[in-house]
Structure 1
């Protein structure tokens, strides 16, 4: 698989989170190499990163997704240069779990400041896709019944 990319720019409004989640999942599924479990992982990560950018960021939110042989890189940028923070995990607290969820779902994740904001990213493992006709050593070709 060669590198594939998609980009989506949002105004930074809360109602755009569901649009981002759906749009990115549809675009990546169109590439044809992910399964439903990976699609759901991508939806959750997009939801959390974009929600954080909308709630805690400033200005437009830019989402870039790169599909590479090493995995899928999800990059979310906003205009706030402050570090993202993980909240407390009390039973009464409904917020603050998003980055911990991203860390649990992603192979790697992180953030870095940019000139006018920050970049928060996560890398998702892609399922192994076997080429047509390939077999593992223990698989035997089917033979007609006699």
Structure 2
């Protein structure tokens, strides 16, 4: 899913967002696989001013940030999503976690 996202960003001339966006895809998809139920879906869209990444699964329990201890091997994924994206959240039904990225300044 990272490669597909990266390819779309190159096609859309959004290479400047590729590193951050692919990390976010990786974290959201990993969360959905580890904590969700049923099939996992990825949707990457662009509007006139932003890139939006959505990952869905069938679990109504919303994704939430955790406070991982220094020795913990996991639990920092949404902290990365929060740090790398401009905004992120969860759909009202809890089945979709999304993140957005504003286009780089100067992009038409």
Q: TM-score, normalised by structure 2?
A: 0.90
User: Mapping of 1:98-109 within 5 angstroms?
Assistant: 98-109=77-88
Change (3 A) 1:119 1:130: closer
How far residue 88 of structure 1 moved from its aligned partner, in angstroms, is: 2.4
RMSD between aligned residues:
1.6
Instruction: Pick the aligned partner of 1:127 from 98, 104, 107.
Output: 104
Match of 1:44 in 2: 23
CA distance in 2, matches of 1:130, 1:83: 33
Higher helix share: 2
**Higher relative contact order, structure no. (Cα contacts within 8 Å, ≥ 6 residues apart):** 2
CA 1:101–1:26: 2 relative to 1, 3 Å = same
Q: Which has the larger radius of gyration?
A: 1
Aligned counterpart for 1:30 among listed residues 11, 15, 18: 11
Aligned counterparts, 1:1-146, within 5 A? 20-32=1-13, 34-35=14-15, 37-114=16-93, 118-129=95-106
Unpaired segments of 5 or more residues in structure 2?
Answer: none
Give the Cα–Cα distance (whole angstroms) in 1 for the partners of residues 107 and 24 of structure 2: 26
List structure 1 segments (4+ residues) > 4 angstroms apart after TM superposition. none
